[in-house]
Structure 1
Amino acid sequence: MREPSEVRRRRILAVVRSRGSVRVSDLAGELEVSIVTARRDVEELARAGKLRRGHGVARSLESAAQAQAQGPASATSDAVDGAAVALVVPERHTYLYETMHGARTVLDAAGIRVALHITPQAAGAERPLVERALADGARGLLIAPRWRTVAEEEAGHSWLAGLDVPTVLMERRPRRGSVLHAMDSVCSDHWYGMHLAVDHLVSLGHRRIMLAARDDSPTARALRSAFARIAGDREEVEDWAVVLSASASEAGDASGPAERQGAGDASGPAERQGAGDRGGPVSGDGLARLLRERDFTAAVLHGDVDALMLVQQLADHAVRVPQDCSVVAYDDVVAAFGSTPLTAVAPPKAAVGRVAAELLVQRLTRPGAPPQRTELLPELKIRGSAQGPRSDRSTV
């Protein structure tokens, strides 16, 4: 027979008063109820003023008052004592692994145990991992959802917004007006990163610039949109185009959009992404043809692993970097290690993780502060892959 809620809540109060504080997950186990039920009981008792509710913890009024009287240091220690934070990042994502390591330095220093969860490439894989982490007692969440498509991103909004533990998004900026608009987030300012890339090429004298980018993450979509706006607004840029790089096909998105029209007309008719591509992702062969057909002298390539591969493929088609085509890579994970070290935009990957973790620690120790949406600025690392355009382009 199911125990009445009034009896169950009296038992919760007795346990909390005897121990001072107790994890909600432990209460659920002892009472043989679900974590959701235990959490609801704790919330009702907190509303009635009979205990204090923390993030995943119920505290007696006496222990909460004692911690407050002892000052901020005691409150911080109490909040992180025995805490575990779930850190969720996609598998095979070197870029976000640097962000992950930045976060761990802060959490380790704060004495917070990190439970790392690697999400597979399947759509919606984050949710069951997060639910399992919360069931295991995680008191906070740092997460970089994969969100390969806009539909996946929108599907992730509703359940993330319903979490009742402090959560900080890393390298993800929910669209304005969405249910996640007010969620804590820390990310790179990718508009500024693309501005750095285009501005550098323009300063070298390039007037015909293209972007070959993926379309399988929020970052990739932000870069494609930023490039179109920036190139379209620069009077010096005579022609520009955005094409889908072939690596997006390898990631499972072979049906990307056709090339966007340049020449100052972002809304003009779409073009094919190189002869024979049928509007699909462009490879080194298609990229070389497009460079010749449109007389582009420079390209921004995202990400830099793809950039190194495309530069190798361009060489196979007699397009030399930087003599025939200047290149700026985006990500700067391995750009420096190419046979021609690539000039690259370097988002502050580790710093994003550190700032996100610092924000999460604040939420654990000082709840109630307004949400923060923080952007950090990328840097441009100048190497050997970009120079001024040749005066004679007839042999490209």
Structure 2
Amino acid sequence: MREPAEARRRRILAVVQSRGSARVRDLAAELEVSVVTVRRDVEELARRGALRRGHGVVRPVVPVERTARPAAPYGRGDAVAVVVPERHAYLQETLHGARGVLEEAGIRIALHIAPQAAGAERPIVESALAGGARGLLIAPRWRGADEEDADARWLAETGVPTVLMERRPDRGGPLHAVDSVCSDHRYGVHLAVDHLVALGHRRILLAARDDSPTARAVRSAFARIAADRPEIEDWCVVLSAPATAPGRGAARPAPLDLAALLRERRATGALLHGDVDALMLVQQLADAGVRVPRDCSVVAYDDVVAALGSVPLTAVAPPKAEVGRAAAELLLRRLAFEHGTATVPEAVRRIELLPELKVRGSAQAPPAGGPLTDSRSASA
């Protein structure tokens, strides 16, 4: 139901009297009506002598004492830019977490989807800031370390409060003084490996992507953790799919034959990153006659769609929505200082949130007959 004109005009008058001035376009955003509607309301209030009009600005008839401050600490109606990669369901959940916090605070979100091309985020951010965005939440794609290095300096100099989501700045690098919130992926990998080892698996492999900071963190963590676990007799890290490598122009690796690799390594457990690749690889195993979990136990990493497969997959679930919420809360603190409602700036924060393991039955004790073997690997 539309708000009656007189009720809307009373709200306009209350805002102007409490703040000392207000821009017409900000009033329109706060009231969720068109600029034309607000202009008409302002004209009517000015005709009655209730306020004074300026060029795009409205002021009360009696000047407000400068000690009176806006009721809202963040500049309600302000917009912040949120930049996430296209076709990235993981970060879409992070976006939803941030959205709830910002909208509750009266902050308008300007969502920007960055295409997969290298360097795509910079022009998007520059355009958003030129359009008036007061802050930035961003999850750069960073398919490789070179892209991360190229983006670090300009991101550190945006000139507005900025928070990185699911990205961990290098210590001492250009982004060392930028707030960030991410999942503790080392702990997530620990949960997966510990689950498999506790079930009795001693030969484990990781098939993972290699085209994002999360993927690289998972690969690195698995190598360190597996090497440090004395119970693990053999482990390896392979690319989950050719398209998940960041390199361009190089020879593309052959598609992963997971069933053959399991037999070659005599492995009984696998950690698969990310979810979509995990579901496809599990189907590949089924086509090759390898049953999950009877012949091979599987743990997925991401838990976006892992539960939806024909075999619901046990999965490491990073706190995706919580990352977005925490990032948005950090940004609000920065905006409060910018608006003068916080007198002391917040310390720069690097927040890590712990993933959890969702057990669904795709992992069990190794098969009684021992690791998978075939004629090619019997002597391995």
Q: Does 1:138 align with 2:115?
A: no
Tell me the amino acid that sits aligned with residue 66 of structure 1: T
Match of residue 166 from structure 1: 161
Match of residue 250 from structure 1: 243
Whole-angstrom CA distance in 2 between matches of 1:251 and 1:380? 24
CA contact (8 A) 1:80 1:110 kept: no
SS in 1 for 2:170: coil
Match of residue 388 from structure 1: 365
Question: Residue 104 of structure 2: which of 80, 103, 109 is its match?
Answer: 109
Whole-angstrom CA distance in 2 between matches of 1:349 and 1:391? 37
Number of residue-to-residue matches in the alignment: 312
Tell me the amino acid that sits aligned with residue 243 of structure 2: E
Change (3 A) 1:105 1:316: same
Q: Deviations over 1:138-192 (max 9, x none)?
A: 0000000000011001101010011110000000001222111221000111000
Whole-angstrom CA distance in 2 between matches of 1:390 and 1:81? 60
How do 1:29-48 and structure 2 match up within 5 A? none
Match of residue 314 from structure 1: 285
Q: Does 1:361 align with 2:332?
A: yes
Change (3 A) 1:394 1:256: farther
Structure 1 stretch displaced more, 171-180 or 148-157: 171-180
Match of residue 349 from structure 2: 372
Alignment TM-score, normalising by the size of structure 2? 0.77
Whole-angstrom CA distance in 2 between matches of 1:333 and 1:364? 31
Structure 1 stretch displaced more, 310-319 or 325-334: 310-319
CA contact (8 A) 1:215 1:256 kept: no
CA contact (8 A) 2:98 2:325 kept: yes
Whole-angstrom CA distance in 1 between matches of 2:195 and 2:267? 15
Unaligned 5+ residue runs, structure 1?
1-18, 27-61, 258-277
Match of residue 66 from structure 1: 67
Tell me the amino acid that sits aligned with residue 250 of structure 1: A
How do 1:19-98 and structure 2 match up within 5 A? 66-67=67-68, 74=70, 77=72, 79-98=74-93
Q: Does 1:229 align with 2:221?
A: no
Q: Deviations over 1:284-316 (max 9, x none)?
A: x2x211110110110000001110000000111
Change (3 A) 1:394 1:127: closer
CA contact (8 A) 1:243 1:282 kept: no
Whole-angstrom CA distance in 2 between matches of 1:255 and 1:245? 17
CA contact (8 A) 1:119 1:126 kept: yes
Whole-angstrom CA distance in 1 between matches of 2:249 and 2:316? 24
Whole-angstrom CA distance in 1 between matches of 2:249 and 2:337? 44
Change (3 A) 1:281 1:169: farther
Whole-angstrom CA distance in 2 between matches of 1:182 and 1:342? 39
How do 1:167-182 and structure 2 match up within 5 A? 167-182=162-177
Change (3 A) 1:394 1:279: farther
Tell me the amino acid that sits aligned with residue 370 of structure 1: A
Alignment TM-score, normalising by the size of structure 1? 0.74
CA contact (8 A) 1:100 1:353 kept: yes
Whole-angstrom CA distance in 1 between matches of 2:122 and 2:299? 36
4+ runs deviating over 6 angstroms:
19-23, 254-257
Tell me the amino acid that sits aligned with residue 126 of structure 1: E
Tell me the amino acid that sits aligned with residue 366 of structure 2: P
Change (3 A) 1:255 1:207: farther
SS in 2 for 1:209: strand
